[in-house]
Amino acid sequence: MEQEIFTMPKIGDQAPDFEAMTTQGMMQFSEYIKGSWTILFSHPADFTPVCTTEMTGFALLEDEFTKMNTKLVGLSIDSIHSHIAWVHNVKEKMGILMKFPIIADIDMKVAKLYSMLQPGESETAAVRAVFFIDPKGKIRLIMYYPLNVGRNMDEIVRSLQALQTADEHKVALPLNWRPGDKVIVSPPKTVDEMEARINSDYEMVDFYLAMKTL
């Protein structure tokens, strides 16, 4: 059978727009995400173990994400009825409510748009994708995980904090950066900037690797 080819969304692209049914009603994605950060994430299937641990992980941190001006949007290729039953079941069994909208992508329209359907892994279930979208609707960071490996919430939160810190302070973040750690000052772009850098009080390995505390 011939395989459909879809363009993979890339960092720096405008997040593709769509209209979809969710557990919170119909959503026009571009309208919903306007002015806030958004984490759009897919899971392979409702009522499956790894997905349940991940989705409850997102639900438990939803208020923290809200404080970080960030909306959560889940997705799987399941019906709205399945989503509603799963949300109810998780609330009953675990006392955790998934308040964020979960897209019922039964026709796979959104999964295809965001390359969440990766046929080498599964023809019928979305892989575990995470798209970080900024308040201007631009894709800023993408993660893809296979069906059998759960994501890491610490890394998802850290990535968001890093993106927001980089934007706010116009800096870059080094290996394993966490809030409170030193940040990287942009490398000089001219000889004059380089001279100024050498005479600055930044913590420096050399002029091209300078760190400061925010």
Residues that bind ligand BEZ (CB under 6 A): 44-45, 48-51, 125, 147-148
Sign of CA dihedral 199, 204, 210, 213: negative
Minimum CB separation of residue 83 from ligand BEZ in Å reads 14
Of 76 and 164, CB closest to ligand BEZ: 76
Of 148 and 176, CB closest to ligand BEZ: 148
Instruction: Sort strands 102-104 and 128-133 into parallel, antiparallel or unpaired.
Output: unpaired
Of 35 and 119, CB closest to ligand BEZ: 119
How far apart CA 70 and CA 78 sit, in angstroms, is 24
How far apart CA 213 and CA 204 sit, in angstroms, is 12
* Active-site hit among 20, 40, 51, 171: 51
User: Is 25 annotated as catalytic?
Assistant: no
Minimum CB separation of residue 3 from ligand BEZ in Å reads 21
How far apart CA 182 and CA 174 sit, in angstroms, is 8
Q: Around 86, how many Cα atoms within 13 Å sit in the side-chain half-sphere? A: 26
Minimum CB separation of residue 52 from ligand BEZ in Å reads 7
Which residues are part of the catalytic machinery? 51
